[in-house]
Amino acid sequence: LQGTYRVMLDEHHSSDELVYGQLKGSNNMNSDAHSIPVRIRQVPGNGSCLFNAISAGLLFDQSISTNDNEQDGGVKVDHPPMSKVIEYSSELRTQAVDTLENGFKSNNKGNETSEIQLIMQNDETISTSSLINEAADQYGILPEEYLSSMRQENVWGGGPEIVALANCMKRPIVLMETIEGCEENTIYLKAVARFGPLSTGRPVYILSTNQKFPNDYASKKKNHFLAVFLVHKCAE
């Protein structure tokens, strides 16, 4: 997406810490905060925007891994075509639901010692059955119905699926939101949550926003996910 985007950090944290998903960043713009530039990629709002956004981030990281000199600025790395992003997002949806379904079935065998725990935020854990039951309750359906519905390509994924993917891939997924009161020519983001285990692998960054972003999105209902990339990882 065209435009200038930056992620706010507080004075105690560096961009390297954001790279490895070790901080939430600053919640507002003030004199004690600094920021780093990011880029944002639009993905189709076809009901699979969450999986499309995560897919775009993972595929771009894979392209970086094949270019050893990229971080030194020696190699231009292109973003994968959207057709490949959409194809891989379908696989990610299956991985997410399989992780949730397998854990749900295991957790409901009645043996508490064998319950599968998923890492949420700050190394807090939740049993898969509890996660699915809570999600199903929000929609007024049975857990089995929730899982079956989530396999459909046009069904919007959310928190449970983010947690599932972060755990099965062992890659942190960092959720970002926009900050109110941004400057006229710059949109600032903040990292509000990091899901999954803390690892040395690069996190995947996604932005929760409205489909109208970056135009006329403020105060609108969040109904879309976009892929976010740190500028030092992107092709110039």
pLDDT at 90 over 80: yes
Residue 133: band (very low, low, confident or very high) from pLDDT cuts 50, 70, 90: very high
Give mean pLDDT, residues 104-116.
72
d(CA 152, CA 227): 21
pLDDT at 87 over 90: yes
Query: At how many degrees (to 10) do helices 82-107 and 159-169 cross?
Result: 90
pLDDT score, position 93:
98
Give mean pLDDT, residues 30-57.
86
Residue 26: band (very low, low, confident or very high) from pLDDT cuts 50, 70, 90: very low
Specify the pTM. 0.83
Average pLDDT, the chain: 82
State whether residue 105 is helix, strand or coil: helix
Alpha carbon 45 to chain centroid distance?
Answer: 15
Asked if 100 contacts 160 with a C-beta cutoff of 8 angstroms, the reply is yes
Query: At how many degrees (to 10) do helices 159-169 and 49-65 cross?
Result: 20
Residue 4: band (very low, low, confident or very high) from pLDDT cuts 50, 70, 90: confident
pLDDT score, position 67:
58
Taking alpha carbons only, the member of 174, 125, 164, 169 closest to residue 22 is 174
